[in-house]
A and B are shown apart, each in its own frame.
Chain A
Amino acid sequence: MSSKPQALTSIGPMRAFAANSKKIAVELIEINENLLGFNQYITEYYKQLSETWGVAQKKVNQKAPKIPQDVEQIEAVKRIWIDIFDNDFTELFDSKKFGENYGNLVSKELELTKHWNNITNVILQSVNLPSKEEVDEVYKEIHSLKKRVSKVELELKKEKRKNAK
């Protein structure tokens, strides 16, 4: 009984609007929290790239200290530059520190995408459209049905071939 007066004030489309706004606000707050982590990993990502660049450039300077004077020298310096840079960057991309940081960076990016998906879902449901989860459920069901049909069709073909012999 006591909830009735409250319900009286909260029925109608505005109630859904208020609930949706709250959901979206929560997602936005979480996006901000995630952005902190994302920024940390992306800073580390560019730090690793720029440090590797610096070290590689020093190696190039040591190997080719003079300004090239002719076409052949330019070619030789370019070759040294490419070889050293490719080696150093491959070493970086192959390292555990890069792999871990890059994995975390992508993971944070995915979390941000997930929040964006959640916001979109709220909007989709507010206009009576299916959410991503509901669409996925349909895809899963279609996949399962197609799989069963394909297996039956394949077995039938095999059986037909066996009988034809």
Chain B
Amino acid sequence: MQNESTIDPKIIEEVLKFSRNVIEAPKFVSAPDEINLEVTPHKVVQQIDKTRLLHYKPISGTKHKTPLLISYALINRYHILDIHPEKSWVRNLLEQGFEVYMLDWGTPTSMDKYLDFDDYVNGYLESSVEYIKNQSSTEQISLQGYCTGATIATAYTALHPENVKNYIATAPVIDGWKDTTVISNLAKHMDADKMVETIGNMPPEFMYYCFSVLKPFEQGIEKYVKFFKNIDDKKYVDNFLRVEKWLGDTPPIPGELFKQWIKDIYQENLLIQNKMHVGDELIDLKKIDMPMFTQVAVGDHLVSPECSMPLHYAVGSEDKTLKIYPTGHVGMIASSLSQKKVLPEMGTWLSERS
């Protein structure tokens, strides 16, 4: 009896090719320092504490009177909105003729552990809005918030509706009890008081843990297998490294802000119930009465659509639009879908109102 093992030669070929790719990877991969994530030219026009207000250089001339300010999330950095010339959210808006500003929250240190929602909403965001109003001689601006940046922008818009002509909420964190993500489950069982009292700011390492439990096998294994398989594809490698660099760079979150965010949004769910306070002021979402555009992604595993969509129904605006896209949290802002569908739709809506 013959006992011969039959292995498909293609398997051996694939294994050898994969091994070669792994060995040769250092030749094709740039060092993190060599990757510049600031793609579109801009100027830092205002600096307060660690925050910076960026003004992007117009590309095709400004066609719309009302400038747009983007309030980026507190997790990772604003670079994802300008990650690559072909996938840049900012560049696309500039090409559509909008004047674009971005608020970079910077890197808080131990000294900033007492910064809270009030500092972010009525301090940094309000100062940026005032600066833009001054520079552009307008009484109102358009405001876009992304992820947790949209939570801050929502609070700001409710407290200062007179300054906001149009409000765009992209994957906003609003209704913590309806959020079906793993992040929300961890947040609901977290002793935020003890965490802040003991370690001050929310450390990046903890955020990396939270990222690691999101689709751990697709993101932790398959993603890297694909990377090594495509090591010859310069464009793929460049895109991959840019996103990886962005993913591996998240600043700490100021302790007091983090505490309020976990308790008020995820644990007690005060924002959607119009019971949340910023400083001494109560946030009433009904006061958001300007045109509003909400964007959510069905495959968002960081902020589920169920967490974002209640904002659309809670505001006082009569002119409001809700758009749902077949993509994920990052796919909505930095993908070919965002360039072909999400941004053109948002641009059309905004240009009609700017």
Known interface pairs A139-B113, A143-B115; A94-B182 also in contact (CB < 8 Å): yes
> A150 contacts which chain B residues (CB < 8 A)?
48, 123, 127
Chain A residues whose C-beta falls within 8 Å of the C-beta of B190 in the assembled complex: 103, 106
Contact mask B1-32 → A, CB, 8 Å, 1/0? Answer: 00000101011001000000000000000000
> Interface residue tally of chain A, by bracket?
35 or more
**Complex alpha-carbon distance, A82 and B218, angstroms:** 6
Residues 167-201 of B at the A interface (beta carbon under 8 Å): 180-182, 185-186, 188-191, 194-195, 197-199
Q: Binding site of B, secondary structure by majority: helix, strand, loop or mixed?
A: helix
- Tell me the bound Cα distance from A143 to B182 in angstroms: 33
Q: Which of B65-73, B209-217, B282-290, B315-323 is found at the contact surface with chain A?
A: B209-217
A154 lies within 8 A of B111 (CB):
no
Instruction: Confirm or deny: B34 has a beta carbon within 8 angstroms of a beta carbon on chain A.
Output: no
**What 13 additional pairs, Cβ within 8 angstroms, besides A90-B215, A147-B119?**
A74-B14, A82-B221, A94-B185, A95-B185, A99-B185, A106-B195, A114-B198, A117-B198, A139-B114, A143-B112, A143-B114, A151-B122, A154-B127
Chain B 263-317 interface residues, beta-carbon cutoff 8 Å to A: none
Residue of B nearest to A95 (CB): B185
Q: Smallest Cβ distance from A89 to chain B, in angstroms?
A: 6
Say whether, besides A93-B182, A139-B110, A150-B127, A86 and B217 are in contact (CB < 8 Å). yes
A69-B8, A99-B186 known; A110 vs B191 contact (CB < 8 Å): yes
B352 within 8 A of A: no
Contact status B180-A94, CB under 8 Å: yes
* Contact call A147/B198, Cβ cutoff below 8 A: no
A146 within 8 A of partner (CB): yes
**Inter-chain contacts of B191 with A (CB < 8 A):** 103, 106-107, 110
A86 and B185 form a contact (CB under 8 A): no
Q: How far is the CA of A133 from the CA of B11 in the complex (A)?
A: 62
Docked-complex contact A110 and B180, CB < 8 angstroms: no
- CB contacts (< 8 Å) of A90 on chain B: these are 182, 215
- Which 10 residue pairs are nearest across A and B when measured between Cβ atoms? A103-B189, A143-B114, A99-B189, A70-B8, A93-B182, A85-B217, A99-B185, A110-B198, A93-B213, A82-B217
Which residues of chain A (106-131) have a CB below 8 Å from chain B?
106-107, 110-111, 113-114, 117
Q: In the assembly, what is the distance between CA of A147 and CA of B116, in Å?
A: 11
Residues of B within 8 A of A82 (CB): 217-218, 221-222
Asked whether any CB of chain A lies closer than 8 Å to the CB of B134, the reply is yes
Chain A residues with CB below 8 A from B127, complex form? 150, 154
A58 within 8 Å of B by Cβ?
Answer: no
B42 within 8 A of A: no
